Structure 1
Amino acid sequence: MKAFAYYSPTTPEDAVKALAGPGTVEALSGGTDLISRMKDYVTSPEKVVYLKDVKALAGVEEKLDGQVVIGAGTRLADLIADPLVRQRYQALRQATVEVGTPQIRNMATIGGNLLQRPRCWFFRNGFGLLGTKDGKSLVREGDNRYHAIFLTEGDALFVNPSSLAVPLIALNASATITGPGGARTIPVEQLYRVPRTNEERELTLAPGELLTHVTIPAAGKNGMYEVRQKQAHDWPLVMTSVNLKMNGDAVADCRVVLYGVAPIPWRSATAEAAIKGGPVTRDRATAAAKAAIEGAKPLSMNGYKLALVQTTVKRALLDAVGDRYWQEG
C-alpha cells in the first residue's frame, strides 16, 4: 500500500483536528474495510487517523428520557452483549449477530459498519464508485447479480453495504456528527446519498467530520429477516428490518427498511402503507410483501431479488409480532 502519515488521537476534539487537516484523510477504527481497500489501492490516503484510542467514542448508555446512545466506536461484540440492546432492540442485535465472524465482530465498530464503502466488485477493482469505463456502465452490461433493483435509472447501481443502517433506520435512530464547525444531528438515513459521478461520495459526511454516536428512541415491535447465499461468513443478499407502533392489535405506524436493493438503505413506503391500519396477519404480511416490490426495476442478472424482497418483508413483519412460522416443525 501507499505510504501514509499516521495519527492516534485520544479525544474527539483531537480526532476532528486530525481529520480536518490537509490532504486526503481516512479514519481507521476496526480496519475490517479500510485496510483491504488500501492494500488493493482502491483507497490511498495521505493520512490515516486511528480512532480506537478515543475511548469516549465507545459504550452504550441509557438517557433519562429512555433513549439509548451508542458510541460509534462500540465494537459489534459489545453491542451484542449489551443488556439494553438485547431487551429493546432485537432487530438491531440480530442484524449485528449476523455480521461477519466472531473475529470480525471483535474488531469492527458500529461507526465502521455504517460508514463502510460499497462492496461492488467493479468499485473494488478500480473502476470507480459508479463502475464505469470509457463512459459506459460496466455494471449494467456485466455481472450485476448482487446490484440494485431500485433507483436503477442512473449509474449508481451498487447496493449500500451497511447491514446495521437498516435496523437503525427502522428504529428511527439519529446520528451525531462532530466537525470543525461543531456538532450536528441527522436521521441515520441522511448519512447516505446517491452519487451522480465517480467524484462524489455516497456518504454525506464532509471532510473533517467524525461520527460520534447514534441515538435510538423507544422502539415498538421490531423484527428482521435476511437471506444470504451461504450460512457461513457472507453478506446478506436481501434483508428487511421493521419497527411497528401498535394501537391494540392494529399497526398505527411503521417503518419497513430493506438492505441489498438500492444504493441507499431502502425504505419501502408501499409496504408500510399496506400493513398500516390493521393487524399483522400472515395474509396482510403477504400483501405488504407484494407491495414492497412495486417500482423495482431489476438489472439483467438480479431479478431473483424480487422474490427475496417478498420473503424477507413478510417474515420480518411476522417476526416482529412473534409469528415465526418458518421455524415450526
Structure 2
Amino acid sequence: MNRFSWYEAKSVEDALKNANTTLSEELYSPSNEAAFFKSGGIDVLDFLKEGLISPKTIVNVRDIPGMDKIEHEHNEGMTIGANVTLAEIEHHPDVAINFPALQMAVAHAATPQLRNMSTIAGNLAQRTRCWYFRSVDHQCFRKNGDRCFARHSETGQNEGHAIINNGSCVSVHASSIATALLALKASVVIQGGDMKKKVVSIEDFFVSPMQDISRENILGKKDLITEIKVPAPSANTKSFYIKQVARESYDWSLADVAVVAEMKGNTCVDITIALGAAAPTPIRSYEAEKILKGEQLNDMSITKAAEKAMEVARPLSKNGYKIPLFKSIIVRALSELI
C-alpha cells in the first residue's frame, strides 16, 4: 500500500472542492494525483490492499454533519442519509414495518461487522466483485484492457456472472440492497460541484457496460450522494426479498430477487420485480410484471411470470444453473405475497 494524504471533509461543499476524480476513473485511467471520496471505506480499502489504486489523497466524507440520519414520514416515505450504516437500516423499526424487502436485503448483506461499517451510499457505489477485475494480473475491459477474461468458454471462471444483458462485460453488480431499492422505486439524491442537487431513480443511477465500460454508475468526479429517498408504499402493499448464496455464512449473491406488490385480496393491482446478480446492473423484469398486473396470484400465474423473467437469459459456459435458480426464487418470493 502506497502513502497517501487523508483529508477530513467538514461539509459537502468542502468535500466536493477537494475531490478531483472517482474510483471508477482512477481504475480505468490511473493517475498520480487522484483524490476521491471514502465513507465506510470497505471497497476503497480492498482496492488499496489489492494494489489496484494509489491515490494521492482520500477525502473522508463519513463525518459530514447531517448525512447520518433516517427520517420517515408516513405519507412521504423515508429519507436515508448517505452515511447511514447498513446496521442502522437493518434495526430501524420503520424500515421493518414499511419496507420489509429492504430490511431483509440489508440483513442478508455481508456480516454484522461489515454492516456496522458499510454505508448505504458506499454499498450502492461499490465496484463489481468480478475476480478478474479485482486482479492486478488481468487487464480487463473495465480497466481499459482489451478483453473479458470471464467470457472465455473454456478458461473463463464465470459461475457467478451475468446471464442477462451480458454483451460486453459480464460481471454483476455487488449490491443486493440495490435490488430491493429498485423494487421499491427509490431515488438517489446527488449533489454536484455546482452545489445543485439532482434526484435520480435507482434504475437510472446505474450504468450498463454497453453504455460505458469504465463505470457502473452516473457519479462524476464532482458528484457526491447525500441521501436515498424511498417513496411511501401504497395501501395494502406487500414486499419480500430472497438472496441465494453458495455459503450461508457470508458470500456474494448468486441470485437475488425483490418483489413489491399492491394487493387487493389475491389480486395484484401493481407490482415490481427486481433481479440482482442476473445482469451487470440490477434490473426490473417488466415482462414478468405485465403478466401479473391485474391478475390473481396463484401457482399458475406465478410460475408463468418466473418463466417469462428468464426468457431473455443467455447463460455463459458455467452459469447456466442460474436460470432454474432464478425461476425458483422468483416463485418463492411471489408466493410470499399471497
1:68 matched to 2:112: no
Q: Which residue of structure 2 lines up, in the alignment, with residue 223 of structure 1? A: 240
8 Å contact from structure 1 (residues 223, 316) kept in 2 = yes
8 Å contact from structure 1 (residues 192, 202) kept in 2 = yes
1:302 matched to 2:319: yes
Deviation for aligned residue 1:158: 0.4
Pairing partner for 2:125 from 112, 115, 139: 115
Deviation for aligned residue 1:189: 1.6
Query: How far apart in 2 are the matches of 1:57 and 1:134?
Result: 37
Query: How far apart in 2 are the matches of 1:85 and 1:197?
Result: 33
Pairing partner for 1:173 from 179, 182, 186: 186
1:157 matched to 2:174: no
Unaligned regions of 5+ residues in structure 1, if any?
322-329
Query: How far apart in 2 are the matches of 1:252 and 1:214?
Result: 26
Q: What code does the residue aligned with 1:47 have?
A: T
Deviation for aligned residue 1:247: 4.1
Distance 1:132 1:103, change over 3 A: closer
Q: Which residue of structure 2 lines up, in the alignment, with residue 210 of structure 1? A: 224
Alignment of 1:75-224 (within 5 A): 75-126=85-136, 127-128=138-139, 130=141, 135-141=146-152, 142-153=156-167, 155-181=168-194, 182-196=196-210, 200-219=214-233, 220-224=237-241
Q: Secondary structure at the match of 2:42?
A: coil
Deviation for aligned residue 1:134: 7.2
1:16 matched to 2:16: yes
1:107-140: per-residue Cα shift (whole Å, max 9, x none)?
1111111111000000000334536897333111
Deviation for aligned residue 1:39: 1.1
Query: How far apart in 2 are the matches of 1:273 and 1:197?
Result: 26
Q: Which residue of structure 2 lines up, in the alignment, with residue 253 of structure 1? A: 270
Distance 1:163 1:53, change over 3 A: same
Deviation for aligned residue 1:208: 1.4
Distance 1:192 1:131, change over 3 A: closer
Q: Which residue of structure 1 lines up, in the alignment, with residue 29 of structure 2? A: none
Pairing partner for 1:46 from 31, 56, 65: 56
- Aligned-residue CA RMSD (Å): 2.0
The count of corresponding residues between Structure 1 and Structure 2 is: 320
8 Å contact from structure 2 (residues 273, 284) kept in 1 = yes
Q: What code does the residue aligned with 2:79 have?
A: V
Pairing partner for 1:290 from 297, 307, 327: 307
Q: Secondary structure at the match of 2:121?
A: helix
Query: How far apart in 1 are the matches of 2:212 and 2:5?
Result: 25
Q: What code does the residue aligned with 1:300 have?
A: S
Query: How far apart in 1 are the matches of 2:45 and 2:250?
Result: 18
Distance 1:44 1:133, change over 3 A: closer
1:149-190: per-residue Cα shift (whole Å, max 9, x none)?
01122x211001111111101001111000112110010121
Question: For structure 1, which segment, 91-100 or 122-131, has the greater mean C-alpha deviation from structure 2 after superposition?
Answer: 122-131
TM superposition score normalised by structure 1: 0.91
8 Å contact from structure 2 (residues 10, 63) kept in 1 = yes
Alignment of 1:22-33 (within 5 A): 23-33=33-43
Q: Which residue of structure 2 lines up, in the alignment, with residue 232 of structure 1? A: 249
Q: Percent identity?
A: 33
8 Å contact from structure 1 (residues 177, 184) kept in 2 = yes
Q: What code does the residue aligned with 1:188 have?
A: I
Distance 1:144 1:103, change over 3 A: same
Q: Which residue of structure 1 lines up, in the alignment, with residue 27 of structure 2? A: none
Query: How far apart in 1 are the matches of 2:211 and 2:84?
Result: 33
Distance 1:319 1:36, change over 3 A: same
1:251-276: per-residue Cα shift (whole Å, max 9, x none)?
12211110111111021112111222
Q: Which residue of structure 2 lines up, in the alignment, with residue 324 of structure 1? A: none
Unaligned regions of 5+ residues in structure 2, if any?
22-31
Q: What code does the residue aligned with 1:316 have?
A: A
1:83-124: per-residue Cα shift (whole Å, max 9, x none)?
110110100001100111111111111111111100000000
Query: How far apart in 1 are the matches of 2:297 and 2:211?
Result: 42
TM superposition score normalised by structure 2: 0.89
8 Å contact from structure 1 (residues 11, 56) kept in 2 = no
